């Protein structure tokens, strides 16, 4: 066999290998995840969990969200674009629990399984929701805040929104639990859009209106950081309790600006979302909710290995 024939055989083998690799990549089920945003470290942790599951289950995932958690319209556009790619399944964390329902109905009609994560929708279209029990977690935050202020005094809430399931459940979980403490009065509930700058200004206005305020609960990463910054800028001493566990929040807990916070398991949320999508594609029955857990952390246990495993940077 001459050199030219050998070269042709080698080239044909290389092309075959390349095509084989391309086919393998194409055969991987595509599962896009549309998150609530990208501005918080929380979502980067969710993304890392989703990518880990994609590797374990041999599927292809994408992960995107609007720049801020106030951009409901942009999130809807992202969901529409993702569905136009005819994915095998889709993960969705709703900024507005109602706005996406028409698109989710289209997904259902096209037999595309929908897996909700972090924040569900007011519909039974999602086969499951991988999430924290936000009402229970916020109730624990209320218990901790009440204890820290001696179960008496005025408190306030700076929430991230009143349209998402997480925003509503954390607000309501906190408010309902605080009814157990008759000497604690919630004097103000304000919304900062999950943005730390807006939440700072909201906090400052609350502090000006209520000079005797003893505590504030911030319902997500941006809210808690904004509350901490507002308290610092106003040079007030009061108990701040947060939710989530980005670097700024952890630093504020270490220096005492924030007394403690609830941490979710964001890596677990991302992983369980993709895992649930794969199970749905196999026809497996899913529970209506996949509870990914939560913990209270403060200066005393922030270094505990069990807690450190679910904190993120």
Domain ranges of the chain: 29-132+266-293, 134-263
pLDDT at 21: 42
pLDDT at 26: 55
* Closest by Cα among 3, 69, 1 to 39: 69
106 phi and psi, to 5 degrees?
-65, -40
Widest distance between CA atoms in the chain: 95
Domain 134-263 has CATH 3.90.180.10: no
Determine the topology of domain 29-132+266-293 in CATH: Rossmann fold (3.40.50)
- 29-132+266-293 against 134-263: fold identical: yes
pLDDT at 157: 98
Gap between the Cα atoms of 82 and 45, Å rounded:
21
* Closest by Cα among 234, 292, 230 to 258: 230
Q: Return the bridge partners of 99, or none.
A: none
Q: Return the bridge partners of 240, or none.
A: 216
Spatial contact of 118 and 290, defined as CB atoms under 8 Å apart: no
pLDDT at 8: 47
Mean pLDDT by 10 residues, the chain (313 residues): 47 45 64 91 93 98 94 96 97 95 97 95 95 97 98 98 95 98 98 96 98 98 96 96 94 96 95 98 97 96 92 79
pLDDT at 40: 81
pLDDT at 41: 87
Strands 295-298 and 260-263: antiparallel
User: 166: alpha, beta or left, given left = phi > 0 and alpha = psi -120 to 50?
Assistant: alpha
- The SS3 of residue 44 is helix
Determine the straight-line distance between the first and last CA of the chain, rounded to whole angstroms. 61
């Amino acid at each position: 066999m001459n050199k030219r024939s050998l070269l042709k055989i080698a080239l044909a083998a290389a092309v075959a290998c390349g095509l084989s690799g391309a086919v393998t990549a194409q055969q991987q089920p595509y599962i896009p995840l549309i998150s609530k945003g990208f501005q918080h470290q929380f979502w980067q942790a969710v993304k890392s969990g989703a990518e880990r599951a994609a590797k374990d289950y041999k599927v292809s995932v994408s992960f995107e969200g609007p720049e801020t958690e106030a951009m409901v319209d942009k999130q809807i556009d992202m969901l529409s674009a993702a569905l136009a790619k005819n994915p095998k399944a889709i993960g969705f964390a709703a900024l507005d629990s109602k706005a996406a329902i028409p698109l989710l109905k289209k997904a259902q009609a096209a037999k595309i399984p929908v897996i909700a994560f972090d924040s569900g929708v007011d519909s039974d279209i999602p086969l499951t929701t991988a999430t924290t029990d936000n009402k229970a977690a916020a109730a624990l935050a209320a218990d901790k805040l009440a204890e820290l202020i001696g179960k008496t005094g005025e408190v306030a809430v700076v929430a991230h929104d009143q349209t998402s399931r997480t925003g509503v459940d954390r607000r309501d979980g906190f408010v309902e639990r605080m009814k157990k403490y008759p000497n604690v009065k919630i004097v103000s509930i304000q919304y900062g859009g999950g943005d730390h700058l807006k939440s700072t200004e909201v906090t400052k206005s609350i502090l000006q209106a209520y000079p005797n305020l003893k505590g504030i609960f911030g319902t997500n990463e941006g809210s808690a950081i904004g509350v901490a910054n507002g308290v610092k800028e106003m040079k007030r001493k009061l108990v701040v309790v947060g939710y989530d566990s980005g670097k700024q929040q952890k630093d504020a807990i270490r220096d005492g600006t924030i007394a403690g916070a609830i941490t979710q398991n964001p890596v677990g949320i991302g992983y369980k979302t993709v895992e649930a999508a794969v199970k749905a594609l196999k026809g497996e029955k899913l529970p209506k909710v996949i509870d990914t857990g939560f913990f209270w952390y403060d200066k005393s246990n922030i270094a505990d290995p069990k807690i450190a495993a679910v904190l993120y940077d």
